[in-house]
Amino acid sequence: MRKIVHRHLGKVVAGAAIAVAGTAVMVGITLPGSAGADESGRGSAGAGPRQAGSEQGQEQGQGQSAVRPGVVERAPAQGDKGTGRDPLTDDETARVERIAADRQLFGSSENVEGGRGPQRIGVDLAEPEENELDDPGAPRRADVTFYDYRNDTLVTRTVNLGTGKVERTDTQHGVQPPLGRDEMTEAAGLLIADPLGAGLRADYKDATGKELTSPDQLTLNSMVYRAAPGARPGPLAKCGEHRCVRLFPKVRNGSWIDSRDLVIDLSARKVGKLG
């Protein structure tokens, strides 16, 4: 019985020795090359092989984990003219704006600041005529939309990109598309300068410690406001016929400021309060 116990203990000790030796080999492979050596590079006799094995392992690890930097390709060069249903190019957009805002329209209209010329709203590729739907050679047209603040009219002019001529002009009253950047900026300027903008100015100063004097200090969002049908007479009763807006201002890189109860009538250049 004692012999059996001794034999068993011998196996345990031998197994532990093998495990320790295996661990030492693993450590020798995975430890950095400087392990076991002093700062001058002198160390035990086994330091050289361990360092070589370590460098090889590191090179393999770097090869597996290295991520090649991404490459951003340049956008393809934009031509002067598009074809078919391609989006309008910058050159086409600028050209149709000049054609649509001819001398007659420019002289008879007014923009959001009260100056001469209509207020540009947008430029879009026009839909083809019904008889052109299956025609790959159908002419390209653009719809150029303006707002005339002189008489609160939405003016849409369709320009043939091939001939450079205005093919038709549509005018509408009471139609209020989303506001453009210039209109939002003008609305913010009117609100900041108005007595009803006192709360906006105070909230801005609380948030930043600075005086609010310019729309450039704000990030602006907006929505068109229409008076409810049959609204009682008041400063906002004509909103819908007039171009009116509610602003949702935000401190640049900061918090929102609540001005939902205030409406700016851009046509009358006045500020009113809901409720």
Confidence of residue 14 (pLDDT cuts 50, 70, 90): very low
Q: Which two tokens stand for residue 54?
A: 């370590």
Rounded Cα distance between 273 and 275, Å, is 7
Determine phi and psi for 205, rounding to 5 degrees. Answer: -65, -35
Helix 2-30 with 47-65: angle, nearest 10 deg: 60
| Residue 143, pLDDT above cutoff 50 | yes
Predicted local confidence at residue 243, as pLDDT? 98
Characterize the bridge pairing of strands 218-224 and 141-148.
Answer: unpaired
Does this model's pTM top 0.85? My answer is no
Percent of the chain with pLDDT over 90: 61
Q: Which among 14-18, 104-108, 205-209 has the top mean pLDDT?
A: 205-209
Rounded Cα distance between 271 and 258, Å, is 15
Helices (H), the chain: 2-30, 47-65, 90-100, 103-108, 181-193, 198-208
In one-letter notation, the amino acid at residue 78 is: Q
Task: Provide the β-strand partners of residue 239.
Answer: 242
Instruction: Tell me how crowded residue 246 is: count the other CB atoms within 10 A of its CB.
Output: 18
Q: Which of 160, 270, 252 is nearest to 207 (CA)?
A: 252
Average pLDDT over residues 36-40: 41
Largest CA distance in the chain: 120
**Secondary structure class of 40 (helix, strand, coil):** coil
